[in-house]
Amino acid sequence: MRNQLFRCGAIFLLVRLLVVGLLVVGLLANPLRAQEPATKPATTQPVTGPVGETPAQRDARMAWWREARFGMFIHWGAYAVPADGEWYMTNAKVPVADYERYATELNPVKFDADKIAATAEAAGQKYLVITSKHHDGFCMFKTKTTLYNIVDVSPWHQDPLAAVSAACEKHHVRFCCYYSIMDWHSPFQTGKQAYGDHPVYNPTSFRSPEDKIAYVAYMKAQLKELITQYHPGLIWFDGQWMKGWTKEDGRDLLTYLYDLDPHLIVNDRASGGGDYGTPEQTIPANGTGKDWETCMTINGSWGVRTKDTKFKSTQTLLHNLIDIASKGGNYLLNVGPTAEGEIPQPEVDRLLEMGQWLKINGDAIYGSKASPFTQKFDWGRCTRKGNTLYLMVFDWPKDTKLSIPLATPVSKVYLLSDPSKPLTTSVEDAALTISLPAEAPDKIASVIAVECAGEIKAK
């Protein structure tokens, strides 16, 4: 396998020599510049947007993401062939040459970008983040930087990112890309135990200062391709814990990306800044007070794992979405397509059920802000939008009474599923009490809209 063109050992060596040589003679100009001129003082502040961006401009840049609240994460790559998760290469200690075989076997004949984007749309997901390159280094898009990509080495010879980007535009879903800084396949990085028959790649480190310069140039070239070829609204970084990657490196990379696209949104995992936080597989107890997004799996795996059949229920997934929205965050929910290119049916089923709930109750989620109440409610969660509160009730009160500590008078209260029938209210014990129907209209979460007569003020 190492003799095959896509391994590109000789090509990578030539690239390295070329990059280092250009740096020596000072000819490596933007956009592949790996370092700023030595005369420019190093910045120590985190990068949180394009240079000179005002708070109003930041709000405008972040507006679509804050409105969205719910997105689809897609982990898909050569690891779909062994179907044992996206960390298979290091977890199973697979040598590079052996792992490359999966890239040549990836033949997603059932892949349908339109179906995937349509599923996201039907699920009520407003953006989609797909892996362009995971830690295994295999590129899921057409790139000029390496032949180790799905178009050149797989029997399929198609560009899924191009197809998904076009399908997302058709289905009104914002297209976005995931990209790993750590690269187990790169000749410029070496793993924790990278040699022999049982390598351990995580975490990698740069082989030398020259290799770091060459890899950063390689990475920037790929990121420029992603931005100019597919126009993602967001870059979702990962793998920043590799040894040798610093906050200054992250700041340089973020500045480079914002220069390419001033409208781009970038998560916090490049180090050195970013636009929002990314708690993984967990929901902060009280939110973060800033822009944030919980990424989470539907079962226990990111990349497809055949043996993992412990799928979360639709109820759990919806309660997670509601809980996150009530704390001012976004929910990025993952699917792991198979080697044939299909999202597993149990994941599709749950997404479509979530979409059915959102068709009726989406006003309580999209564009919402965190609950104005400091206390937590045993019955469920609350969001707000303008002067309207949305009470999302998980546990329907047995006495059909629901009370909230609201100081603002209300003009109308109703079930979001039936706005034509106002609910009766009263003020009791310094709280607004709502009289509810005997039965909950939704078994997972019933939503009550409370339109206030002025600015919402909690007692």
Distance between CA atoms of 162 and 59, rounded to whole angstroms?
29
Q: How far apart are CA 49 and CA 55, in angstroms?
A: 10
DSSP readout, 111-141? Answer: --HHHHHHHHHHTT--EEEEEEE-TT--BSS
Query: In this model, does residue 40 exceed pLDDT 70?
Result: no
Number of CB atoms found within 10 A of residue 262's CB: 14
Chain centroid to Cα 109, Å, comes to 26
Q: Give per-residue pLDDT as tens, 215-244.
A: 999 999 999 999 999 999 999 999 999 999
Q: Measured between alpha carbons, how far is residue 38 from residues 27, 82, 110, 246, 255 in Å? A: 15, 47, 51, 17, 16
Contact criterion met (CB below 8 Å) for 234 and 176 = yes
For residues 72-86, average pLDDT: 98
Work out the percent of the chain whose per-residue pLDDT is above 90: 87
- The yes-or-no verdict on residue 9 having pLDDT over 80 is no
pTM of the model: 0.92
Is the predicted pLDDT of residue 120 greater than 70, yes or no? yes
pLDDT confidence of 18, banded at 50, 70, 90?
A: low
pLDDT digits (tens, 9 = 90+) for 369-403: 999 999 889 999 999 999 999 999 999 999 999 99
Domains contained in the chain, CATH given: 23-34+54-364 (3.20.20.80), 380-452 (2.60.40.1180)
Distance from chain centroid for Cα 277: 11
User: Over 50: is that where the pLDDT of 17 sits?
Assistant: no
What pLDDT is recorded for position 43?
Answer: 54
Picking from 120, 17, 143, the residue whose alpha carbon sits closest to that of residue 70 is 120
pLDDT the model gives residue 36: 32
pLDDT tens readout for residues 304-313: 999 999 999 9
